[in-house]
Amino acid sequence: MAKIDTSFLDIGYLDTLAYQDSPIQRLDPRVKLLTTLVFIVLVVSFDKYAITGLIPFVIYPVVMVALGNLPAGFILKKMLWAAPFAFFIGIFNPLLDRHILLYLGPVGISGGWVSFASIMLRFFLTVSAAFILIACTGFNTVCMALEKMGVPKSLATQLLFLYRYIFVLGEEAARLTRARSLRSFNGKGKGIKVFGHMIGQLLLRTLDRAQRLHTAMLCRGFDGEIRLVRTLSLGVGDLAFFLGWTGLFILLRWYNLTQMLGNLVTELIR
């Protein structure tokens, strides 16, 4: 039960980070969203064997964490929870692609291991960018930015509700788990049959709770529009942020700076 409560509090903690007063949090959310999208698109556009070309892109999450005053350890911990999905997608590559691409001394490295490393690196870059976006902006503001950028209002609202109802589901699951723990002795009441009943009860209770929440929202004048106290306005700093990072991303995409630096060092050593 404590683990369920803690996990959902951790999800909500990302939103609370967006209320900090820092240069990154003060930026227009549309600019941060577009910059993150450009970053993700360019990262995933690399060849499946690319590794050295991806390494310079680490500068973006590092700078954003530093300027946004974000807890790097917390974000890394959340990424590790999702890492098994990427791990099991790429772990079979060494079995399917055994062609040797390079040698580290006498040891040959197959294309499968290189592509696996590339998948994991892309995962950490893209997922960290998404977490940083939410931590610097807040999910409410991200949904409003999507709506202002032309995304259908119904889709933006559904995304917001999906995110918010995760917490409703977590609260109801925590109550059910707490009630079962108080009524279970010597391991009784914790079998698979009870677990199945709990899943059904969880569905019914979350649907009932969601209906009550929706009724309360309608009573308070909700009409499907996402509103925030903050007004959106693009400034010189916002444009400089977007153009600067986008230009750097394009430069890193078309020029392998890591390889160029390695060649330069090799020439100097010679």
Asked if residue 175 has pLDDT above 60, the reply is yes
What is the predicted pLDDT for the residue at 215? 85
What is the predicted pLDDT for the residue at 186? 64
pLDDT in tens, 26-67: 888 889 999 999 999 999 998 888 888 889 999 999 999 998
What CA–CA distance (Å, rounded) separates 60 from 135?
Answer: 15
**CA trace torsion 247, 249, 255, 256 (10° rounding):** 150
Asked if residue 2 has pLDDT above 70, the reply is no
Are the C-beta atoms of residues 24 and 65 closer than 8 Å to each other?
no
What CA–CA distance (Å, rounded) separates 158 from 104?
Answer: 50
Q: What angle do CA 264, 269, 270 make, to 5 degrees?
A: 100
Task: Pick the closest to residue 35 from 184, 240, 188 (CA basis).
Answer: 240
Are the C-beta atoms of residues 167 and 11 closer than 8 Å to each other?
yes
Let me know how many helices (H) and strands (E) the chain has, helices first: 11, 2
What is the predicted pLDDT for the residue at 189? 61
Average pLDDT of the residues of the chain: 80
Asked if residue 226 has pLDDT above 70, the reply is no
What is the predicted pLDDT for the residue at 37? 94
All structural domains of the chain with their residue ranges: 19-137+234-269
What is the predicted pLDDT for the residue at 44? 92
Q: Which residue has the higher pLDDT, 13 or 41?
A: 41
Predicted TM-score (pTM) of the model is 0.78
Which has the minimum average pLDDT: 66-80, 92-106, 144-158? 92-106
Q: Which residue has the higher pLDDT, 164 or 216?
A: 216
What is the predicted pLDDT for the residue at 4? 46
What secondary structure letter does DSSP report for 101? E
- % of residues, the chain, pLDDT over 70: 87
Pull the structure tokens for residue 137. 């902006």
pLDDT band at 107 (very low <50, low <70, confident <90, very high): confident
